[in-house]
């Protein structure tokens, strides 16, 4: 006759878990909620491997798919305030107070949620193109993620830094800057008025400011 299994109670489970709580929590970093939070997503091996396989037109389709992914993320997370896409990167600025309310500002939780959702959304968007040339990237297109705080007074400076990263990429490759299309030279900026919109623009001489009627950042002269 089989022995009956001992019932595991919630109390039993919690008492056993106490032994491991220190190991679990010691790396569970919490971000500040009184500052903005940057989520930076980076395609794994996109530039070192996959982008080298595609023509300019094919690469444009990938970047457009990536911009649509960023838009989906901004629509999904109510804490999103501004986003920027270039190369194989997405940078999203989140409001720390809203992240605290929904995700307790935990680095591990934010990174895992954003990385998995970005990878899924990207595969979905690229699959819509219906071209066999993207099959390997659809199967293997995954994203790494890091997140960190950004003081509220540094939003404009941060965005200019990302724009310079986009420009630097062209110069580093010894390519002709002026011959590049806007999406290559300036990346794709996502801002929200009534809804999230995408555009390629050189915003180096403009400023990102909040409008009095809402909490989102938009460009002003």
Q: What is the pLDDT along the chain (221 residues), one digit of tens a residue?
A: 566 777 878 888 788 878 777 776 667 788 999 999 999 999 998 888 888 888 889 999 999 999 999 999 999 999 999 999 999 999 999 999 888 887 788 899 999 999 999 999 999 999 999 789 999 999 999 999 999 999 999 999 999 999 999 999 999 888 899 999 999 999 999 999 889 999 999 999 999 998 766 689 999 87
pLDDT of residue 24: 66
The domain that holds 194 is classified in CATH as 3.30.70.3000
Confirm whether 5 is domain-assigned.
no
Confirm whether 9 is domain-assigned.
no
pLDDT of residue 3: 66
pLDDT of residue 213: 64
Confirm whether 145 is domain-assigned.
yes
Q: How many helices (H) and strands (E) would you count in the chain?
A: 7, 8
Confirm whether 25 is domain-assigned.
no
pLDDT of residue 47: 84
Whole-angstrom distance, CA of residue 88 vs CA of residue 166: 10
Confirm whether 1 is domain-assigned.
no
Confirm whether 167 is domain-assigned.
yes
The arrangement of strands across the sheet holding 89-95 comes to: 143-150, 36-43, 89-95, 80-86, 188-192, 196-199
Confirm whether 85 is domain-assigned.
yes
Confirm whether 97 is domain-assigned.
yes
The total number of structural domains in the chain stands at 1
Whole-angstrom distance, CA of residue 84 vs CA of residue 165: 11
Which pair of structure tokens corresponds to residue 95? 């409001």
pLDDT of residue 155: 96
Which pair of structure tokens corresponds to residue 152? 């509220």
Q: Alpha-carbon dihedral of residues 8, 9, 11, 13, nearest 10 degrees?
A: 40
Whole-angstrom distance, CA of residue 124 vs CA of residue 113: 17
pLDDT of residue 2: 61
Tokens 């938009």 correspond to what residue? Answer: 218
Range of the domain at 41: 30-220
């Amino acid at each position: 006759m089989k022995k009956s299994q001992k019932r595991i109670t919630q109390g039993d489970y919690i008492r056993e878990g106490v032994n491991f709580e220190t190991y679990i929590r010691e790396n569970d970093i919490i971000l500040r909620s009184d500052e903005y939070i940057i989520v930076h997503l980076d395609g794994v091996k996109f530039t070192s491997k996959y982008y080298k396989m595609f023509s300019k037109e094919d690469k444009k389709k990938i970047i457009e798919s990536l911009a649509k992914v960023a838009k989906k993320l901004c629509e999904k997370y109510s804490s999103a305030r501004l986003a920027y896409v270039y190369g194989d990167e997405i940078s999203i600025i989140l409001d720390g107070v809203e992240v605290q309310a929904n995700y307790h500002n935990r680095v591990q939780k934010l990174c895992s949620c954003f990385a998995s959702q970005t990878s899924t959304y990207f595969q979905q968007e690229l699959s819509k193109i219906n071209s066999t040339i993207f099959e390997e990237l659809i199967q293997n297109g995954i994203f790494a993620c890091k997140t960190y705080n950004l003081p509220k007074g540094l939003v404009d400076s941060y965005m200019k830094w990302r724009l310079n990263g986009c420009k630097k990429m062209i110069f580093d490759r010894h390519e002709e800057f002026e011959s590049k299309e806007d999406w290559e030279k300036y990346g794709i900026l996502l801002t929200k008025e009534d809804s999230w919109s995408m555009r390629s623009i050189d915003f180096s001489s403009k400023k990102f400011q909040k409008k009095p009627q809402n909490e989102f950042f938009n460009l002003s002269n």
